[in-house]
Homo-oligomer: A and B are copies of this chain.
Amino acid sequence: MAIKLSENDLLEKLGRIAKAATRPPRAGSQLRLGIGDDAAVFRPSPGSETVLTCDWFLEGIHFLREAHPPDSIGWKCLARALSDLAAMGATPKCFLLSLAIPPSCTGPWLDGFLNGLRRASRKFHCPLAGGDTTRHERVLLNLTAVGELPAATAVLRSGARVGDYIYVSGRLGEAELGLRLLRKGQRQLSGHINPCLRKHLYPQPRLKLGQRLRERNVATSMMDLSDGLSTDLNRLCAASLVGARLEMGRIPVPHGSDDRIKASNLLNFALHGGDDYELLFTVPRKKANRLPASFEGVTLTRIGEITSGRSIQVTLPDGRKEFLLPAGWDPFRK
């Protein structure tokens, strides 16, 4: 296909999307200047801190152009970055998108992508503030999300204390299971999209849960589960200089799934599968009773507790104990 689009054309297209994705500019809007200048200008709320995160989303590494619908790629590239804001307890404010695409993707693919992005932008009240566009033989995405929270209230990875209970939101391993269904081409079950596939394609960052945990001062530490429980819990423990003891029987594996999938596989997905974008957090025992069993339809499950050792032990249903080593997603090990 001939290259008909110039960089200016693409920027203009993004500018129109930005306008469509955001409400009409209001006098009180914190986004003072969006796409179209050298940089975006954002007015911080008085007394707040700004939370900043950036995330790769690369064809062939994080998604497959042949398998993933462009609408899902647009949704997910924003949702997964917002999950990092959720993990600090922050509220999204705006985002910057860097987009590199082949000329063949400037037509329907780009429209689909922008449609998914726009839906996520509206859903999570997070307007597009700026970006950079260029040409590349494969689709490359990088997204910077900007959030806010009251000064000195961010929930960090490093705050877990010995004796704290460990919780996760939702069910773990569903996105990994969804990815496997996608690879097998099982995109739909009896006309409806499979829930695990939906979670893989359209993850929901746990923004309100993260904010609530921060506001109530319930969680001592928090992070999002993007690379798998075994990898991410090891990171949380390393940051907090603690260890953990998990009860295998408590870990919320995917349910309602295909009966042909063995229980041991489900447990493996839950321990090591990536892309769930659930929250992992610790709560002091004396505050555990303040935590509801679920929050806005998402279950909150206690899976173990923080220990003084520097390792993570898992107690199997038969009482045996094993060490849990990081075996989640690592791009340098694939």
Contacts and interface: CB of A to CB of B under 8 A. Distances in A.
Contacts of A41: 49-52, 88, 154
Chain copies in complex: 2
A233 interface: no
A146 interface: yes
Which residue among A9, A41, A133, A239 has the maximum number of chain B CB atoms within 10 Å of its CB? A41
A312 to B, nearest CB: 15
Contact of A130 (B54, B87, B135, B326): B54
Interface string A138-150: 0010101111000
A217 interface: no
Contact of A52 (B3, B6, B58, B144): B144
A104 interface: no
B54 A3 contact: no
A133 to B, nearest CB: 8
B51 A40 contact: yes
B39 A142 contact: no
B331 A36 contact: no
Contacts of A61: 100, 134-136
B239 A37 contact: yes
What range describes how many residues of A lie at the interface?
35 or more
A142 B136 CA distance: 14
Given A7-B331, A58-B134, A333-B3, A51 B36 contact: no
Given A37-B158, A37-B239, 18 more contacts: A6-B332, A8-B326, A33-B156, A37-B88, A37-B157, A38-B223, A39-B51, A41-B49, A41-B52, A42-B51, A42-B52, A43-B49, A44-B44, A44-B48, A46-B46, A50-B50, A58-B134, A62-B134
